[in-house]
Structure 1
C-alpha cells in the first residue's frame, strides 16, 4: 500500500514538473515569437541624443518615414552601426558630440542563392542589377556581393533550370549576415546560354543560333540612337532591306511576306509606319525579341524565310515604372503599373505630329516615300499605335495574360490640275487591330502547359475621287485571322524535355476594287483552315557541351474544299562545344505558308502601298514550301567573337506576282522557285567600353521558272556581297556609334538597246533584255549616332539622343524600272535612297 502511494505521488510530481517545464518553454517560445517593437527612426535618434548627450544632423525627408527595431545594445557605436545597416543611411561622426545622417543613393549588397528543393547553394547564377550596368554570377558557395548599387534598383536572379526571381536591392543591404534567397526549380523548356553583348549591349546570341534583342538594355548602333526593333535586327549578318524600309526585311534572300512576325504570339500583317520607314512596335514596352534564321522550333508554323517573335512584359513588376519621349517624327509614353500583389498592367501610346509640323526628318522621309507616286501636294499624314497588356497571377502555378495592340497610318491629300475645276481628293488608311490571351500553367513538378488564342485584323483602304468628282475608285485589302494553340512540356529528366502541341488557324483574306466610271467591280475572297500537330525533344548534356532540339510538325491545310494537303515539316537544331570557347552548330528545317503579298503595279494604292495580302489557292498560287540547312562554327570569349555560317535554302511555289517583277514577266503569273546559297562571317571585338565589328554576307540567289526564257536567272533580291564595318564607344554616360554599309547592286532588267519598243502589237510594249541581266550601281551608306544619359535623381533619368543616316548624303539607286508613254517613248523611273537624314530625341525614364 505504501509503495503504491509513493508511486502515485512520484507520478503526480513528475507530471507537475513536466507541466511547469512546458509552461516555461512555452513562455519562452511565446516571448521569442512576439513581434519586435518598431519605432520611428526620428524618435530613436531623439532618445539617443538624451541618453548619450550627442546631436544628430539630418534632412527631415531622409528619416521621417523610416521605422526601425528598438535598439538592444548599450553601446552607441553598435547601435549606430545597426541603424546604418538596417536603413542604408550613412552615419558619419564629426566629433565626440556631433553626427550627420545622409541618405545614400547607392548601397553595398550581398547574398546567398540556395536551391529550395535540395537546400544546396547555387553557383553560377546570374545576378543582374536593373537601372545599372552591374551584373555578375554567384561564386562556388552561391554568394554574391556588389558595391555602388542604386538604392532603388531591382535585382534579377536567374539560372538554368530555376524560376527567375525579382527583388529590391534594399533587401540585400550588406550586413554582418548576408541575406539568403531560395530559387524554385523550373520545369519549362530548356533555356539557352547566351553570349553577353553581341555587337552592342542588349543584343545577344543564343546557343540555338538565334538572336535575342532586349530593348531595355539596348546600347547603341550606328544611325539608331533609339532601339527601333526592325531597324536594329538589320545589323545582324544575313538580314537586310534592299529598299531601306523596316516593313520589307529580307532574311537570307527571302521576301518580307515570307517572314513570320509575332507580337506576344500574335501574327502581325502590318509592321511599319510611314510606309515602312519606321517600326510599328514601341521598343520601350517590348521586353525581348527573338530572331530566328534557321532551325526554328516546331511550335512555329509559317514564315519560310525567318521568324521574329516579340514579347512585352512577362513578369509582374514590383514597382511602377515608365517613361516618355519625343523625336523629330513622333512622341510616345508608356508605363508598367502594379495592381495589388498579383496583377499588373502595361500601356503604351505613340503618335506622330507630322500632320501639323514639318521637320527635317519628315521632309527626307516624305521625299523617299512619295518619290515615284502621284502624291505631289500631300495635305495630311500621321500615324499612331497603342498597346496594352494585363497580367494576373491566379496562384503560384497559373498565370493569365491578355495583350492588345492597334496601329494606323493615315494619308489624305489634294491635287489640282489645270483641266479640273475641283481638286482630286485621295486618302489611304492602313489599320491593324490584334488581341490575344495566354494561360501558363504548372500542373506538377514535371508537366507544364501554355494555352493561347488570338484574333488579328488588317485593313488597307484607298479612295480616289477625280475628274471633277465624277470618278470614284475604292480599293480594299482585308485580312482576318483567328488562332488557338495548346503546348505541353513534360520533363523526362533534368536535362531532357518533351514538348507536344496542337494549333488551329483560320485565315480569311478579301480583295475588292470598285470603279464607277467606267463601271468595274472585283471581289476576291478566300478562307484557309490549318490544323497542326507538333512535337519536339530538347536535350542538354550535363556539362552543357551538347545542346539540341529535334522535332517536327504536321500541317493539314483546307481551302473551302478547293484543296486539301498534308505537309510534314522536320526541324533540327544542334550545337556542340568542340573545345573551350569553340562551337559548331547544325541547323535544318522544312516550312510552309499559305499567305503571300502580291505587288500589282497597275492596281496599286495611290502608287504608294503596292502590296496586297492574298491566300494560296492550290493552283495559280500553291502553298509555298521551303527547306533549309546550315552549318556554322564560332569562337567566343569575353572580348572576341568570330563566327562563320554556310547555308542552303530552297523555296518552291512562288508566283511572279509575289516577287515584284518590273519587266516582260510581271503579268505572266508563272509558278517557280528560288535557291539561295550563301555564307555569313562576323568578327566582333569588345570590352566594357567599346565594341567593333566587321560582317560580310555572300548570297547567290537564283530564280527557276520552267516556262520562262531563260528558265534560271538572278533573283530580284540577289545582292551578292554585303559588308558592314561599325563600332560603338562608351565614355561615362555618353555612347557613340559609327558605321559604314556596302552592298553590291541588285539586278534589274533594261529595255533592248537595239529594239526598245515593239509597235507591232496593240498596245505597244517594251522589248526587254533577258530578265535581271543588268545590275544597279553599288550601295554605300555611312551612319552615326550618339546618346547621353543624364541622371536627374535616384529614380529618374533623361536620355538625349541624336543620329544621322547617310551623313555623306550619297543618293544610292535602290531600283530602276521603265514605263511606256503615250508617244511610245520610254520613261526611266529610279527610286533613290534616303538622303542625309538627321534625327534627335529626348526621353525621360522613371
Structure 2
C-alpha cells in the first residue's frame, strides 16, 4: 500500500514550483488510481444485506441514510451468518443488533456515556446471552457470559432489556453505576410457540408459520402487481387458493367459499362490512392496519364462524414515543394519520379517509363507477352524488409491567344519492333515491400477566352494520324502503398457561349475541314487513400448543377443541382442530391441517333488484325450521414445502365440504333463482407455489386446481358445478427492488366461471326461458395484466415522501365475470357484467 502526504512532498521540493505542480498531479493520480482499485475490490453494504436476507432467515431494519454508499471489502459468501455479521461490525462504523423474531437492527454509532450490566437467569443464576438491550437511540445484545454495554444519552432514559423466554425489564439509565456493572436477574417466561416456516412468501413481509397461517407485516412490506398501498383484502388475493371472482374485496372466495363464509376480525372485532365503493376498495385504512393473519385451514379453537377462512387484522401493538403525522392522496380518496404519544406508557393513533369524488372525478373514479353501475338503477341516472369515508382510532396504555389496555373504534360509511326528474303537465317533478351502507365498531382489550406462567386476555366488543335503500320509482309511483341491520355484542376471556418450555395451554369462554333486523316498506299500496331475530351462543375452547424439546426441535403440534351451545336451537356443537408441522431433511416441511367449523349467520338475495340492484345481499340468521340452517364445514389438507437458498416450492392438497347453504345465497340466475332449497358444496383442490428470490429480483408462479360441486337434493338436477367453480387459476409475478424504488408486474388467468345458457334453437317456452342443464356452459377465460411502481424519498431530514403509480388491467381486457338472460319486449336478451377495464391509479404521501 502506498502512503504519502501532499504536505511532505511539497516541503521536499519547496525550491521547484514546477516539481511541486507535477508532484501534486502525480500524488492525485496515485490516490485516484488506488481509490478506484480499492473500490473495485469492494461491494455495497446494501448488496451484502440483500444477500444475507436471501440466504438466511433474517430481516434487516435500518434507515436508508444509515447504509447509503457504504462499501465493505469482498469476503467469502459461504461464510456463516454470525461470521459475516462480525465481519461487518469490524469493517463499518455501525452497530448490528439482534432483535426478536430474527430481526437485525442497524444503527449509526454515537458517543455519549457507557452503561453496562450482567444478565442472569433468576432461577438458575446462569448467564444469559443474546438478550436485547434497547435504549432511546442505541441498542445491544448480551454476550455469552451475560455481559452487555450500550450508550446512554440522558440520565432519565429508559433502558429496555428483553430476552426470548424471559419477562421484559425496564430500568432508568441513572440506576446504572459508572464504576460497576449492574447484575440484573431476568424472570423466565415462555413465549408463544408460533414460528416462521417460510419467510418472504411471494413478496417481502408475507410469512407462512408453523400453525398453517399466513402473516402479513405491512411495516416491512415489498410490492405486489397493481397495488400501491398496503390493502389487506387485496393482498390476501395474491395467495394460492384465494381469489375474488368479481374483483371486489366484498366477495373474497377462499377455496371456493362465498364471502359471507369468511370471518373478518379487526383487532378482535367481527366486521360485517369489508368494502368501500360497494366492494372495490377495502374499508380498512392501510395506515392504521399494520399486520394481518390469514387462515385457510387449521384455525385456532378460539375462533368461531368463518367456515371458509379467517382474516385477522391488527393495528400497531407498540406504544410509540414520537409524534408522527402523515397525509396522502390517490385518485380515489385522501387520508390523514397521526400517532400521538400520551406520556411514556400510552399512545393514540387516529386515521381518517374520504373520497375525493365531490372535488374531482378522476379516470379511476369513472372506471370504478362504471363497474358498479352495470345493469341496476344507476345505469340510466345522471344526477348522482357518491361519497365514502372511514374514521379509525386505537389507544394503547401500558398500565403496569403486568397490565396492558387497548381501546379501538371504527366508523365506515358509503352513501349514494341520485335524483330522477320527470316533466309533468305543468311542472317538473323530482324524486330522490339513495343507498346507505355503514358500520360502527368498538372494542376494549385487556391483558393481565398474573405470574411467570399464566396470563389472561379479556375482550369486549360491539359491532353494528346497516344497509338502507330508498327507491323512489316514477313508473309505478311507489316509494320502496329496504333495511338490513346487524347488531352484535361479544365477550371473550382467554387464558394462557405455560406448562413448560415446549408446551402452552390455551383455554377460554366466549359469548356472542347477534341480532338481525330486516324490513321492506312500500308506500302505495301500503305494505310493511319486518323481521327481527336474535341468537345467543356460548362457547368453550381449549387448545394445546406442543413443541417437543428435542435437540432439533423440528416438530410442532397444535390440538384444539371447541364446544358451542346455541340458546335458540338448544344445540350442542363440538369442533376439533388440528395443526401438525414436521421439518425433515433440513429443507422440507410436512404440514397436516384439519378443522370442523360452523356459523349461524349468512347472506342471501331475496330479489335481484333489492337495494337498487347494487348491493343485493342481506344478512340473515339461521332458523329453527331448517329453511336457513346452521352452516357447517369440514376440511383437511396435506402440504409439503421445500425452501433453500431463496428457492421455494409449496404444494398443498385439500378436501373441503360445507353443508347448510341456501340456494338464495348462491346468486342463481336460471331456473333455480327463486328456489328455497338447502344443499352443500364440496371442493377437492391443490394449491402450488414456486418462488425464486434473487438479490433484487423476486419471481413467483402459483397454480390452483379446484373442483367445486353443488348438491341440492330438492332440485331435479341435484349435482352440478358451483357458481364459483373457477377450475384452474394461474398467476405469475415479478418484483424488482433497487434501494427506494420498487417495481412489480404480474398476470392473472383463470378458466371461465360456470353459466347456464338457453337451449340453442329452442330458447323459450312462451314467457319462460328454456335453459340447458344448470352450469353446463362456461364464460370465456379471465385474463388480467397489472403493473405498479413505488418510490420513497425525503424532503430534508425529517420529512419522508412516498409516491406510487399502478395500472390495473393494462391490456384493457374485457373480462365477462357474470351473465344472465331475460325476456325483454318479447325478445331474449343476454346481460353481461364486465370486470374493471384499464384502471390507472397514483398516490402521493408525506410523513413527518
Q: Is the shorter-chain TM-score for this pair beyond 0.5, marking a shared fold?
A: yes
Report deviation, 1:191.
Answer: 3.1
- 1:841 pairs, out of 818, 840, 843, with 843
Cα 1:419/1:388, change in 2 over 3 Å: same
**Aligned equivalents of 2:413, 2:322: Cα separation in 1:** 31
1:716 aligned onto 2:723: yes
Q: Does 1:410 align with 2:415?
A: yes
User: What is the match of residue 673 of structure 1?
Assistant: 680
CA distance, structure 2, for counterparts of residue 199 and residue 146 of structure 1: 37
CA distance in 2, matches of 1:709, 1:287: 49
Q: Is it true that 1:515 corresponds to 2:517 in the alignment?
A: no
- 1:230 lines up with 2:233 in the alignment: yes
Please tell me whether the aligned partners of residues 194 and 209 of structure 2 are also in contact (alpha carbons under 8 angstroms): no
Pick the aligned partner of 2:660 from 622, 647, 653: 653
RMSD: 3.3
Q: 1:614 aligns with which of 612, 620, 625?
A: 620
Q: Could you tell me how far apart the structure 1 residues matched to 2:171 and 2:335 are?
A: 29
- Mark the runs of 5 or more structure 2 residues left unpaired by the alignment: 1-92, 95-105, 152-157
Match of 1:486 among 482, 493, 503: 493
Contact 2:119 2:147 in 1 (8 A): no
Please show how residues 56-71 of structure 1 align to structure 2 within 5 Å.
none
The match for 1:372 among 367, 372, 375 is: 375
Residue 465 of structure 1, CA deviation: 2.0
**In 2, are the aligned partners of 1:187 and 1:448 still within 8 Å (CA)?**
no
Matches within 5 A, 1:55-134: 106-107=108-109, 117=122
Per-residue deviation, 1:472: 1.3
Unaligned ranges ≥5, structure 1: 1-88, 91-103, 148-153
Matched, 1:556 2:565: yes
Of the structure 1 ranges 191-200 and 450-459, higher mean CA displacement relative to structure 2 is found in: 191-200
Residues in 1 aligned to 2:746 and 2:715: alpha-carbon distance in whole angstroms: 41
Q: 1-side partners of 2:142 and 2:500: how far apart?
A: 25
TM-score by length of 1: 0.80
Among 161, 166, 170, the residue aligned to 2:165: 161
* Contact 1:677–1:700 (8 Å) recurs in 2: yes
CA gap of 1:419–1:583, structure 2 versus 1, over 3 A, is farther
Residue in structure 1 matched with residue 582 of structure 2 by the alignment: 576
Closer, same or farther: CA 120–380 of 1 in aligned 2, 3 Å: farther
Distance 1:584 1:570 in 2: 20
Aligned equivalents of 2:719, 2:649: Cα separation in 1: 35
Residue number among 786, 794, 799 corresponding to 2:789 in the alignment: 786
Task: Describe the shift of the 1:826–1:119 C-alpha distance in structure 2 as closer, same or farther (beyond 3 A).
Answer: farther
2: distance between equivalents of 1:827 and 1:319? 62
SS in structure 1 of the partner of residue 759 of structure 2: coil
Q: CA deviation digits over 1:19-71, x for unaligned, max 9?
A: xxxxxxxxxxxxxxxxxxxxxxxxxxxxxxxxxxxxxxxxxxxxxxxxxxxxx
Is the CA contact (8 Å cut-off) linking 2:228 and 2:788 kept in structure 1? yes
Q: Per the alignment, in what secondary structure is the counterpart of residue 275 of structure 1? A: helix
1:321-340 correspondence runs (5 A): 321-340=324-343
- For 2:659 and 2:202, how far apart are their aligned partners in 1? 34
In structure 1, the residue corresponding to 2:368 is in which secondary structure?
helix
Contact 2:435 2:611 in 1 (8 A): yes
Match of 2:536 in 1: 529
1:635-646 alignment runs, 5 A limit: 635-646=642-653
Q: Which residue does the alignment assign to 1:627?
A: 634
Matched, 1:737 2:744: yes
How many angstroms apart in 1 are the aligned matches of 2:703 and 2:171?
42
- Hey, what's the Cα distance between the residues in 2 that align with 1:145 and 1:288? 33
Distance 1:395 1:326, change over 3 A: same
Q: Which residue of 2 aligns with 1:585?
A: 591
Q: Distance in 2 between matches of 1:489 and 1:681?
A: 35
Structure 1 residues 159 and 277: alpha-carbon distance in aligned structure 2, compared to 1, 3 A threshold: farther
After TM superposition, the structure 1 = structure 2 runs for residues 236-275 of structure 1, keeping only pairs within 5 Å, are 236-275=239-278
* Separation of aligned partners in 1, 2:476 and 2:759: 41
Matched, 1:747 2:750: no
In structure 2, distance between residues paired with 1:484 and 1:519? 41
State which of 421, 425, 431 in structure 1 corresponds to 2:438: 431
Equivalents in 1 of 2:585, 2:687: separation in Å?
22
TM-score normalized by structure 2?
0.80
- Name the counterpart of 1:496: 503
| Corresponding residue pairs, total | 726
SS at match of 2:365: helix
Q: Does residue 756 of structure 2 align to residue 756 of structure 1?
A: no
Partner residue in 1 for 2:311: 308
Do 2:709 and 2:721's aligned partners in 1 also have CA atoms closer than 8 Å?
yes
SS across alignment from 1:745: coil
User: Which of structures 1 and 2 has the bigger CA Rg?
Assistant: 1
